[in-house]
Structure 1
């Protein structure tokens, strides 16, 4: 087979992923794709997720299986709600005398009522009322568990929980809270039984209202009893205080007459009498003084008012006037010596003497009247002085009396207030005894379907969550995957030419890749090697064809040796003189890939222990020649970097068309860097979806530092079934050719 046939075979491999026919002698690095300059592009991530659709389906199926298993094993629960509306507190004795309307319950009151609803006494009463201690849901001792059965077999019985413990278990399934900012309290209860959940929630609300009524009745009863005791004590106090007032009044003589005490009334009367007596004395003295003044002045006293007002004097004056008129009339006819005249004059003189005598009596009467008036005034003033002296003592008694009266009045007012309050309490307590400060506005109804789990919602959530989780897992695996999967990834990340794909084959001595090449010359593996052959054949170093080829990998077990052996056989089958050199003196494996026994080789040639004729052998399956690694050397790297190695390669280039060198792993030894400097071509073998991209970049940097020539990248051990999911390129296999007739 000649070079033309090799080119034809290269064209047949055009079905494989794109392999750029670039000159290896071109020292420029390809520019990464502008849209995928990073290690992983979004499109690669999407294709990677699609490539893991089995994993996505498996994760999704597992998640849904867990969801169905959970739905099948979980115990359904029923949650119901009873609502209670709190009203302003009424019917309390302490608020009977309050005129204002009762204030609505505030936030603190609502929270207090919530605490009362969840208090242990009320829950314990609920447990007793509904016989929840006989329900295994709330009484763990009634549950038939493995632990209980084992303890029962060995004769150990657990202590039965009391009502308080059952109430605690009940509290764990109870939720009491305020509905928004309203005065409504919601009672939510969750149970495995729809009937039990409704019964517990409604009965708890009923017991709460009944407890309110009982507490109100008890408070009213205690308050009424207390008021009765206080009223009885106040009655005794009022009686005692009023008796003390009357006893002190009798003892002190402070009896009331017309709104005042007797001494006060006496003092008022004496003051009044003294005023009148002083006025009478002044009048009498004035009359007496007037009469005396008339006498002292020589005037007739007859002009005095007291004289003029005397009836006797007035009668005598009338007689005098009549007698003088008679004398005047007789004097016209009779002489003064006439006996009638003299008798009339004698009568007149007698009248004057009587008048004078009466006037003197009147003056004496005025004097006596003045003396009596003065004596009365003196007597009254003396009585007043004595009574005023006595009133000093009486005032102190009156102060004490007023204090006693105030105590009696206070006790009487308090007694009247308590009596009024007592009557109102009795009247309103009877009316409000059965009225609570809360009422049920919504009773719990027995639910027809469980509130947990919601099968539809759970399945929907499980479907969405399972799908998202599966996609996330696949995305993370793809995002954090370390290997290359497509030619685009290789070229974008490394900037080096992509040389092709080598499919993965079964492992084993009889199923080695080099043997598969001979057994199936038109199989996918053989065509892939021919594709690599095409890249090698078209590689140029300046104006000449490349002749020396270095096969290197980052790690061991990446398919480097089997690929080198297969390429050597393909080139030899194409008519090219080809030699395969095993330069891995630490772990030689070329003889294993070709099924040859270990023999002397490169080590002996470099040390001068053998010549070319002793170390070059022909491959059993092709016309290719093989130079094994030979024995171990103390410093393989120095031996490979020696001038003797360069001379060996020069000599082989003169004899063979292609010299293929299988080097050690680049991350295990520095031999690859030494050999890269001596060869025309370097092919970096990268295991598909396995070798870390950072490691590949590190190896490329090392090889570039050793040699300025470009390095081609070859993906080996490719899983074709999975590869089709990552790339649009379809790898087709030629149909088997029929055998020729004999």
Structure 2
């Protein structure tokens, strides 16, 4: 029998769909996600309630803690007694210094000192050994795995204290904040304050220690220098006594004598020169007549000055008498005689002055000669003295050096003692803000915590719903299918609730022909009736699924019964030769069928049977065959279909899942219409896309998709195509889908 030519089918119901993009299956519409999130409002509410319950339980069980802060500022103290007269101001601490001091504040030695000072080892909050053991701890004590009383470990206590402590630099400042957290508000304030005090006290101790160490070192050096100075000065004086180089006015006696003789010789030579000058001047004046009377020595003579005064007075008298008396007058002659006598006396005195000058010049010359002889003798003596002075200066330099060192060390020693006493309580840090005992815990803050928990709970709840929706695997609405696959959406089949006495969905078609399930199958029937293959209607319908368990067999059986109940001659074929189940869906026992027909073990009259609940005919799978795919792809299978088309209006074929075997691809090639059954909100979209690709590769016909086992209550939250107006249907038989 020849193959029937196959023309491309346009679509089910003559509806056209755009071809999907290559990655259309992975696309997610924002509106779909929002509808999906809202559809999961029960999950949102439950998640929010659970989140708030956990938050409230945490608030009720968490131990409140108190966090307070002490602030200290690092700055060198200006105006200290030890530095008040310094020329330069103290340098400010840089960032490295601040970070170093922060490390000191968080050092283990300082923390251990704090623990000892405040007795923190006696507090269970800081000493784990004093805490009551937990459940596991009590079990360990009961079995002897741990001592009932744990020993106190100072290192562990230090770790606990440091974990509660936070020290950091305030931004853009030289202020260091000491923050401490404790369950006891009083201890929360005491610990940072005491730590700041201990830190400042440690600075004072370190500074005092430095000064004391410097003072001790200087004292030892001073004692050694005193011995050296005494020895060097004794050597100087011994050599001075031996050489006779005694100091007089800062110099040795020979030096002083030489200096004095030089000074005296200079004075004597000056005196001699002056005396000779005076004598020469007087002699030259004497040689010129009475001009000698104008000599300074003559003028300075008291006797000559007296005689000159008498001469002046007598001349004035003679001049006065000459106005009234003649020269021959006795009084005039007497006065003139007295005047001549005064002249002779003055001349006599002038000669005496000249003789005195000559004598003074001779004495001055003799004194110069004497001093020059003494100087020559002393200079010869100085040649020997200079050699001794070289040795004396060397000894003196040693003594002066030792004395300078001793004086310097004595000065520094006095300064160190004065600084240690004056700045004994000075430190380069001071407390600018002390911690105060808080009245309310800083953690947790109930109001803020509840507000934050409410906001976080809402965000978390919506996030959970969003993630569930965004990562959901299956299709939930027809527009999703058509947009993602480009294939027509054939409708949906509701999920029926379990009812006593019901076993298979196909039975619901007979028991409740006006129910939602029957109406959904009749909607699928309408799509099949409108399907065209070229210029004729489609007659062979393949019902398959991507994977098993999606309801394809129940759908095929229900569709066959609907066609038969509508007056169409219908036959349904179970083409699942590996795991047949159509007989179960129809409530019949297993009998020979299609496999027997294909291999020639039976004829049509032996395999076609009447459905016990409708006018439909049934061909079961029959006896298993070694190669089901080859059997279905054989010309015998095509002959069977052509023969059945001569008798029946519609042929419904139930095939294996498309992703399980190649049987569905083989059957899709020789049938008019393919219905791909997809379980609602369950089957992975990529698996559906893969199944569509396999079916499309086998045939050029389009494939319609049917959603099965739809939860109508949830579907109304997703659908936007009017199907959400279907009334709820709760009293229905159970589905036994494959």
Same fold per superposition (TM over 0.5): yes
Shift, 1:252, TM fit: 1.7
**How far apart are the structure 2 equivalents of 1:23 and 1:434?**
99
Equivalent residue number for residue 32 of structure 2: 44
Shift, 1:88, TM fit: 0.9
- Answering whether residue 433 of structure 2 is matched by residue 442 of structure 1, we say yes
Compared CA separation, residues 608 and 441, structure 1 to 2 (3 A) = same
Shift, 1:278, TM fit: 9.6
Equivalent residue number for residue 690 of structure 2: 698
Moved more, 244-253 or 219-228: 219-228
- Answering whether residue 470 of structure 2 is matched by residue 479 of structure 1, we say yes
What's the Cα RMSD here?
4.0
**How far apart are the structure 2 equivalents of 1:283 and 1:178?**
89
- Please give the secondary structure, in 1, of the residue aligned with 2:93: coil
**How far apart are the structure 2 equivalents of 1:164 and 1:693?**
60
Equivalent residue number for residue 488 of structure 2: 497
Contact 2:516 2:729 in 1 (8 A): no
**How far apart are the structure 1 equivalents of 2:697 and 2:428?**
92
**How far apart are the structure 2 equivalents of 1:708 and 1:151?**
74
Shift, 1:409, TM fit: 4.6
Moved more, 130-139 or 56-65: 56-65
1:496-521 deviation digits (Å, cap 9, x = unpaired): 22211111225798321012222222
Shift, 1:661, TM fit: 1.4
Shift, 1:135, TM fit: 0.7
Compared CA separation, residues 614 and 206, structure 1 to 2 (3 A) = same
1:265 pairs with 235, 256, 265, which one?
A: 256
Contact 2:564 2:570 in 1 (8 A): yes
- Please give the secondary structure, in 2, of the residue aligned with 1:496: coil
Shift, 1:82, TM fit: 0.2
Equivalent residue number for residue 338 of structure 2: none
- Please give the secondary structure, in 2, of the residue aligned with 1:500: strand
- Please give the secondary structure, in 2, of the residue aligned with 1:656: coil
Equivalent residue number for residue 345 of structure 2: none
Contact 1:684 1:711 in 2 (8 A): yes
- Answering whether residue 111 of structure 2 is matched by residue 117 of structure 1, we say no
Aligned residues: 635
Equivalent residue number for residue 344 of structure 2: none
**How far apart are the structure 1 equivalents of 2:729 and 2:133?**
67
1:627 pairs with 611, 619, 638, which one?
A: 619
Contact 1:506 1:512 in 2 (8 A): no
Shift, 1:279, TM fit: 11
1:451 pairs with 433, 442, 454, which one?
A: 442
1:655 pairs with 647, 652, 671, which one?
A: 647
**How far apart are the structure 1 equivalents of 2:52 and 2:272?**
133
**How far apart are the structure 2 equivalents of 1:219 and 1:194?**
38
Contact 2:126 2:160 in 1 (8 A): yes
Moved more, 630-639 or 137-146: 630-639
1:144-173 deviation digits (Å, cap 9, x = unpaired): 114654565538537623444423331222
Equivalent residue number for residue 338 of structure 1: none
Shift, 1:541, TM fit: 3.1
TM-score normalised by L of structure 2: 0.76
1:80 pairs with 49, 68, 77, which one?
A: 68
Moved more, 64-73 or 590-599: 64-73
Shift, 1:587, TM fit: 1.2
**How far apart are the structure 1 equivalents of 2:590 and 2:692?**
32
1:465 pairs with 452, 456, 461, which one?
A: 456
Contact 1:75 1:192 in 2 (8 A): yes
Matches within 5 A, 1:699-714: 699-714=691-706
1:433 pairs with 406, 409, 424, which one?
A: 424
Compared CA separation, residues 441 and 502, structure 1 to 2 (3 A) = same
Moved more, 446-455 or 595-604: 446-455
Equivalent residue number for residue 355 of structure 1: none
- Please give the secondary structure, in 2, of the residue aligned with 1:730: helix
**How far apart are the structure 1 equivalents of 2:411 and 2:651?**
127
1:678 pairs with 670, 674, 677, which one?
A: 670
Contact 2:676 2:704 in 1 (8 A): yes
TM-score normalised by L of structure 1: 0.76
Equivalent residue number for residue 67 of structure 1: 55
**How far apart are the structure 2 equivalents of 1:73 and 1:59?**
21
Matches within 5 A, 1:96-135: 98-135=86-123
Compared CA separation, residues 513 and 731, structure 1 to 2 (3 A) = farther
Shift, 1:67, TM fit: 2.9
Contact 1:90 1:102 in 2 (8 A): yes
Structure possessing the higher radius of gyration over alpha carbons: 1
**How far apart are the structure 2 equivalents of 1:712 and 1:168?**
70
Equivalent residue number for residue 204 of structure 1: 195
- Answering whether residue 520 of structure 2 is matched by residue 528 of structure 1, we say yes
1:391 pairs with 372, 382, 386, which one?
A: 382
**How far apart are the structure 1 equivalents of 2:157 and 2:682?**
60
1:252-275 deviation digits (Å, cap 9, x = unpaired): 212233443221233345557778
1:577-603 deviation digits (Å, cap 9, x = unpaired): 221111211111111001101111122
Contact 1:582 1:629 in 2 (8 A): yes
1:395-448 deviation digits (Å, cap 9, x = unpaired): 132233334444555555555555555555555554432333322111101122
Contact 2:15 2:488 in 1 (8 A): no
1:311-362 deviation digits (Å, cap 9, x = unpaired): xxxxxxxxxxxxxxxxxxxxxxxxxxxxxxxxxxxxxxxxxxxxxxxxxxxx
Compared CA separation, residues 595 and 407, structure 1 to 2 (3 A) = same
Contact 1:91 1:429 in 2 (8 A): no
**How far apart are the structure 2 equivalents of 1:281 and 1:657?**
174
**How far apart are the structure 2 equivalents of 1:704 and 1:148?**
67
1:618 pairs with 597, 603, 610, which one?
A: 610
Equivalent residue number for residue 724 of structure 2: 730
Shift, 1:468, TM fit: 3.1
Contact 2:189 2:436 in 1 (8 A): yes
